[in-house]
A = this chain, B = another copy of it.
Amino acid sequence: MSEINYIDAIRKALHDAMADDPGVFLYGQDIGAFGGAFKATKGLYETFPGRVLDCPISEDAMSGLALGAAIEGMRPVIEMQFADFSTVGLNQIINNCATHFYRTGIPAPVVFRLPSGGTPGSGPFHSQSMEALYAHYPGLIVFTPATVADAYSMLREAIAIDDPVIFCEHKLLYRWLKEDSIRGDGLPWHRARVARVGKHATVVTHAAMVHEALRAADQLSEDGWEIEVVDLRCAKPLDRTTILGSLARTGRLLALGEAFPFGGVTAEVVSIAATEGFELLDAPPQRLNSRDTPIPYQPDLWRAHRPTAESIQAALRRLLAF
């Protein structure tokens, strides 16, 4: 059987969604005959004539257009060439799309695909994880799939959802992450997954950091530590039940994320643990994020800027020693 990687799963999800629903169309830069900067749409232009449109370098207009199309009953999927460029469309996303249902009662089923996260040499403007910005604003759902199966199923779900979804796909996983099939475990999108069962501590994380956490857990298992890893999958809304359930088992929390340290998902996870799971905690919860600087270009600096299996391991050892 042939292997399928994370970007293939995204492409297949787009394909299947378009095949199933004539209302789905794709809009983005270079996504047509070229197939997109990361080839997420390769072949779709030919398979679905007139439904995969190359657009001008106008993230604001792309995002406003998505809302308009949704009002008229379509299900646009917008590809931002890199998540970082979505800042240019952010106003339309958070103020126009995200407020639309609350203000007017008319839902806005639009999906913004954000190729996210750092890779070596991609530097300060092609590496960002923007969950914190979008999750802060009411009216948006934020997905951060970490597996090939989730890349597929969550993108299908994102397109089916009647609200705007920010779909953060991690560039580091695009080709590196391979599985035998896209068949997943059928978890609904709003549920986090226990990606590894443990009993001494829980790492709550998402996207590419799930894999760093799993590596750290493997390493620690050699010393007898059993680390539970919770893959959030959906960054907003957060699955409090699964987070607190895991804490009930382990009593120890490391909230881990690749984004910048202030606020964001890890702060929210720690807050949930502290406000709602205080009595479950046997030690102070811990956080690990990237450094509080722009994301450096040079690969050694970049590796020191983001959490890695090594720094996660170190953080977990401190947590376990408490």
- Min CB–CB distance A203 → chain B (angstroms): 15
Contact A287 B271 (CB under 8 A): yes
Contact A263 B103 (CB under 8 A): no
Contact A102 B294 (CB under 8 A): yes
Residues of B near A98 (CB, < 8 A) are 294
Contact A274 B285 (CB under 8 A): yes
Q: Which of these binds chain B: A82-90, A171-179, A224-232?
A: A82-90
Contact with B along A250-291 (1 / 0, CB 8 A): 000000000110111111101101111011010111110001
Contact A292 B88 (CB under 8 A): no
Closest to A286 in B: B275
Assess whether A217 is interfacial by the CB under 8 Å rule.
no
Assess whether A317 is interfacial by the CB under 8 Å rule.
no
- Min CB–CB distance A32 → chain B (angstroms): 25
Grouping DSSP codes into helix (H, G, I), strand (E, B) and loop, the A interface class, with mixed when no group exceeds half, is helix
Assess whether A133 is interfacial by the CB under 8 Å rule.
yes
Assess whether A138 is interfacial by the CB under 8 Å rule.
yes
| Most chain B C-beta atoms within 10 Å of own C-beta, residue among A94, A132, A279 | A132
Residues of B near A102 (CB, < 8 A) are 293-294
Closest to A278 in B: B284
Bound CA span A45–B38, Å = 51
Set B88, B136, B275: member contacting A284, Cβ < 8 A:
B275
Set B99, B139, B268: member contacting A267, Cβ < 8 A:
B268
Assess whether A151 is interfacial by the CB under 8 Å rule.
no
Set B268, B281, B294: member contacting A103, Cβ < 8 A:
B294
- Min CB–CB distance A116 → chain B (angstroms): 14
Bound CA span A157–B293, Å = 22
- Min CB–CB distance A305 → chain B (angstroms): 10
Residues of B near A260 (CB, < 8 A) are 136-138
10 more contacts with CB within 8 A, not counting A95-B125, A99-B124, A267-B270, are A98-B294, A103-B294, A139-B293, A263-B267, A271-B271, A271-B287, A274-B285, A275-B285, A278-B281, A278-B285
A–B complex contacts, Cβ < 8 Å, 25 sampled: A87-B94, A87-B95, A90-B90, A98-B294, A99-B294, A102-B293, A102-B294, A133-B133, A133-B136, A136-B263, A137-B260, A137-B262, A262-B268, A263-B263, A263-B264, A263-B268, A267-B267, A270-B270, A270-B271, A271-B287, A274-B285, A275-B284, A276-B284, A278-B281, A278-B285
